[in-house]
Each structure stands twice: as C-alpha cells, then as structure tokens.
Amino acid sequence: LSIDVDKPLHSVSPTLYGLMTEEINYSYDGGLYAEMVKNRTLRDGDWSQQDWLVMQNASAGAKFDQDKSTGPSEALNDSMKLTVTSASPSEPAGVRNMGYWGYPLRPNTTYHASIYAKTDASDLALHWNLVSNKTGRSVASAEVPAIGSDWKQYKVTLHTGAIEASEAYHLELTVTKPATLWFDLVSVFPPTYHDRENGNRVDMMEMLAGMHPAFLRFPGGNYLEGDHIKERYDWKKTIGPQVDRPTHPSPWNYHSSDGLGLLEFLEWCEDLHMKGVLAVYGGYSMKQEHVEPGKDLEPYVQDALDEIEYATGSTDTKWGAQRAKDGHPKPFDVPFVEVGNEDFFDRSGSYDGRFKQFYEAIKAKYPNIQIIATTPVKSVKPDVVDDHFYLSAEKYFDDVHHYDNTDRNGPKIFMGEYATMEGSPTGDFGAALGDAAWLTGVERNSDVVIMSSYAPLLVNVHPGGMQWHPDLIGYTGLSVYGSPSYYVLSLFAGNVGNEVPESSLSGAGPRIAYSVTTNKATGKVYLKIVNGAPTPQAIEIDLKGVGHVGSTAKVERLHAMSPVDTNTINDPKHIVPVASTLPVAGDNVKYTLGGYTFELIEFDTK
Ligand code: AHR
C-alpha cells in the first residue's frame, strides 16, 4: 500500500459523517424521548394494547372510558374519564399505566410528572405512585391535593430511594372517594440530557455523541411522508405546548406522541453540535398519493418555507418569532433542506415538477441553503442527490469503487441511508465489515460524497419494539449498546483528516478495502483498512513524501472470530475497538492485518 502523503487529491467534506433519524422501532416514543407514560393522551386508538388499566377491587369500584366531549385543548379535545363509584383511603381506585415495557426507574432519582385534569367532586386529591410490579409496593409517591372543576395542568415530583434499578415498575393514579375524574396528557420524565424539560435520555444522547456526528437528517424517512397525505409529518402540529399537539399516526404502525417535535429535533442538533438536514414534506405519501405541481402544491411549498423560517429565521419574522415564543430565540444552523423522501417510489412521475417548484421557491428566499433531491431530476440541477443503499456485505465489498467514476460536475451525493443487511435487531460483525468497506469508498470520494448516514439508527430491542432490522444502536429502558457497526462509524468519524492523498494498493486479496486521509497541520495520517476474509493479510505500507514518521502508530482494532458474532443488550461490549501501538521504523511499515478485522492506524508525520 503506497501513500503519497504530500500529494493531496481533494479535501474531505467536513459534513461527511452524520445521523439519520425517524420515528421507527420506538426511536423516540419508548426510546430517545425520555417520556415514560405510554399512550399519554390515549390517542393511540388501539385500546386492546392495555396501556391503561383500571384498578379496582372488591370494595372499590371504578370504570374507565374515553370521553369524546371534553378535553384540555382544541388539539386534545377528548379525554380519559374515570368514574369511581366507591373508594376509600384503604381501598383506593384509579388507573395504572404500564409504560413502554415498564417504567425504567433508578435509585435516588427525581421524576417530574404532570397531568391535565378536572373533576365533578370537591376536594378530590389525586395520588401518584410509582409501584413495583414484583411487590406491588410504592417506591415513590406524590399528591395533587385538590383537582378543580375546570381543565388545568398539575405538576408533581416523585423521588425514588434506594430501590433496585429495573424496568419492572408502573404508574398508579388513584383517588380515595367516589368521583368522576377526567384527565389527559399524563407525563413522567426522568432526568434528561442537558436537563432539558421535555428532553432526551442521557445514556442514548451520550451514545450518539460518541459518533461525532456533523449533522442530523430528520424527520424521515417514511415517517416524513406518512402512508397518506393527511398522515404526513405536519410540522406545525408538532410545535408549541405539548397540550397543543394533536399527535398523529405514523407509517411504522404505532401512534406518534409528537412530544419530540420540530423544536426538539432542532435542540437535539444543538445539543450535539450538529447541522440540521431538514427534510420537508414534498407532496408525496407512500400509498401513491401525490399533489400535482402547480397551484395545488403551493400550500405545501409555503409550509416548507415557513418551516425553514421557524428553524432559521430571525425573531423579526413570523415563524422566527413563534420559535422564540416556544422558548428558543436563537436561530438554528440548518444549511441543508431535503425535499421529500425516496420519491423514486412515486409512480406518477411527478417528482421532477414538484422538486422544481420547491427548489425555486426555497432558493429565491434562502439562496445559501443546499437543496437535496431524493432521486435524480432533470428540471433543475439539485445541489445534492440522496442515495440509499441497503445491501449485503458481499455486495458492499464488490462495489467499494462505486463513486470512483461519479461525474464531478453533477450534483454532490448524500448517502442518506445505508446499512449492510445482516444481523438482528442490530447488525452483526459481518455487517460491520461490509459497512466499513463501503465507508472506505465514501471517504476516498468525499469530494463528491459530502454526507453519509446509516439507517435506521435506533431500535428498542424489547419484543414488539422493532419494525426494521438491522439497526445501529439497541436499547431497553435502562441500557443502550452499539452494534459493531456503531464502533466502525465512530472510528471513521472520530479519526479523519481534511485531505485525501494519492494512494494505491496492489497484490491484496479480494476482500481488502482501505482509505487514507491526512491533516497537514497536525501531521496525522489516518489509514482505515478492512479485511473481510478469514485469512490474515500481509501488508507493506510505504509512506511517501514524509520527512519524519513517529516511532509508533496508534491502532484501534475491531475483530471477531466469525461474521455472525455480535453485540447484544446482554453482551453489549462483546466486540469493541481494542487500542494498541504499532512499532514504526521509518517510512516503510510491514505488518499483518488479521482475518475479519477492521483497523484504524494513525501515523504521526510531524
Ligand atoms: O430506514 C428505513 C426506511 O428505509 C426509511 O424510512 C425509508 O426512507 C427507507 O425505505
């Protein structure tokens, strides 16, 4: 392997590695979004799921129903009605919420809870308890002393003591005398990342930070489009107070609370220092419904302009002012807008016209925003085209030169979704090798491929939590782990120079792939090399054009005995990078790359 360190071919895109996200696999509800109450507005039409259960016994009678005639807001215009016919302090009656696979509680922790409620009884106290599923005993409690006769929000805090960290808890809301209680939007939050109210899980955000992401593509994916136009991601219904968000059905077969709405996506970007790649609804939904370009499309184009203004406009603008009212006066950094998602599925052929209409309107108002098309178009030249690849490891290895001959005068490429389709719920080691091989091709061509993101990013590994596999990061309520690919991506993004030098490889086996980047200022040379075959491979590295090479190189090695080896929720660190050093004497390095191995080697040439 010969590397001409002083002969740069092109620079490396500063936005090369990022994240793609959507509501799938309980990514937000029951995932990143830290809310613990499942079906908190009872808008998830499927009552058979038994998220809420009525509590009564021999001497306490209660009935639980949905009341469509009253609710706390225009958006939430119905509610849960609890009719208690008999109850006493020793025999309370009420409801329990079983959470997303339980309530993941930790010891000595404060939980912030709230509810909208009203009652027909006077001096009705509402008791909150977090209760152990195993013992039936309360481990944290609080009380709203008196619920009024008009809709109002009540807040309490619950503190756990020296309890066992476990998901085997639930929430109970009870009263101790006969009454009718209407309630809605019940919420319980653990501590969140950066202590944001209505925020994200700390452990999952830390995991994502470990990927050194430069951008976040949101909110989809299919989730942006919806099955039908009326089920699209209608961003205006996802902002403002939670009580003003009507919630919506998602294409991944569960209802979305929209608690993590547009502002929360943008704050997520801010928290992890990521640029926003905002996907705006482009007038096509997955069951082949589309809006014809022209007059009919105008309201959708206006919605996109408003959305961009909400994200990036000054507080003097209508939607910038709305953002300030929602708690964030400072505009966000959103340099990319994508129009739609996977519009090659639109059999009407309307995307060319739709894209042009969005493109021209957005460019006229925001000339600096880079506009991404989801498939090639002829009507205008998009700044960027989004490519999606879900392939086998073999195919990725075979196609590592995919972008070598891409037209450099055409649009830039965003590899907005890719994953080696091996392993479940998260990718296995063979998948990690496929992803690593593919990324070498992306990095080598990072003059034209300016962004990349794996998909899907997240999966709740509880039974019933997954709609798509493989995924990158798995979790339950209390634990989170990275697939071997997670470590590959983290190593790629965390160790990259700003230039790609000339290099060539000869005499290597068929399943060897590599990429090199350099940073002149620091003198670092980063070599990423994959061996997808079981047999070791002797490598001789020639570092040309360097005056000096440090006597050791840093190595991070990811290896497993078999491609089907993997990480799991119970064995989360089975395959992780192992750090070591490689002795280096001069500019010629001979060493052996093990079978089934991905390695990052960092040379110091300063
Ligand atoms: O990543 C899962 C799905 O794959 C995305 O929602 C969609 O864009 C693609 O088909």
Query: What is the value of ipTM here, to two decimals?
Result: 0.99
Q: Which of 23, 25, 388 to mutate to test the pocket of ligand 1 (most atoms within 8 A of CB)?
A: 388
Q: What is the mean pLDDT of residues 172-188?
A: 97
Q: Measure 486 CA to ligand 1 centroid, in angstroms.
A: 18
pTM, whole model, 2 decimals?
Answer: 0.97
Partnered with residue 138 across adjacent β-strands are: 131
Write down the pLDDT at residue 48: 52
Q: In this structure, what are the phi and psi dihedrals at residue 213, rounded to the nearest 5 degrees?
A: -75, 140
Which CATH code is given to the segment(s) 2-10+501-604?
2.60.40.1180
Question: How far separated are the first and last CA of the chain, in Å rounded?
Answer: 21
- pLDDT tens profile 520-554: 999 999 999 999 999 999 999 999 999 899 999 99
Half-sphere exposure of 76 (CA within 13 A, CB side): 31
Atom of ligand 1 nearest to the CA of 468: 2
| Gap between the Cα atoms of 130 and 165, Å rounded | 13
Asked whether residue 448 carries a pLDDT value surpassing 60, the answer given is yes
* C-beta 417 within 6 A of ligand 1: yes
Indicate where the chain has its CATH 2.60.40.1180 domain(s).
2-10+501-604
Residue nearest to atom 3 of ligand 1 (CA): 221
pLDDT class for 58, splitting at 50, 70, 90?
low
CA–CA gap between residue 95 and residue 62 (Å, rounded):
9
Which protein residue has the closest C-alpha to ligand 1 atom 2? 456
Q: Render pLDDT for 328-359 as a digit per residue (tens, 0 to 9).
A: 999 999 999 999 999 999 999 999 999 999 99
Q: What's residue 46's pLDDT?
A: 62
Q: Is 173 left (phi over 0), alpha (psi -120 to 50) or beta?
A: beta
- What φ, ψ does residue 583 adopt, rounded to 5°? -65, 135
Beta-bridge partners for 535: none
For ligand 1, whether the C-beta of 456 sits within 6 Å is yes
Q: Where in the chain is the domain with CATH 2.60.120.260?
A: 47-189
Atom of ligand 1 nearest to the CA of 456: 1
pLDDT of residue 47: 55
Ligand 1 close to Cβ of residue 457 (< 6 A): no
pLDDT in tens, 37-48: 999 998 887 655
> What is the reported pLDDT for 60?
63
Q: Does domain 47-189 have CATH number 2.60.120.260?
A: yes
Dihedral (Cα; 353, 355, 361, 362), 10-degree rounding: -170
pLDDT computed for residue 99 by the predictor: 96
- Residue 67 · residue 41 · CB < 8 Å: no
Ligand 1 atom with the shortest distance to the CA of 455: 1
Which ligand 1 atom is nearest residue 419's CA? 1
Question: Which homologous superfamily is 19-34+194-494 in?
Answer: Glycosidases (3.20.20.80)
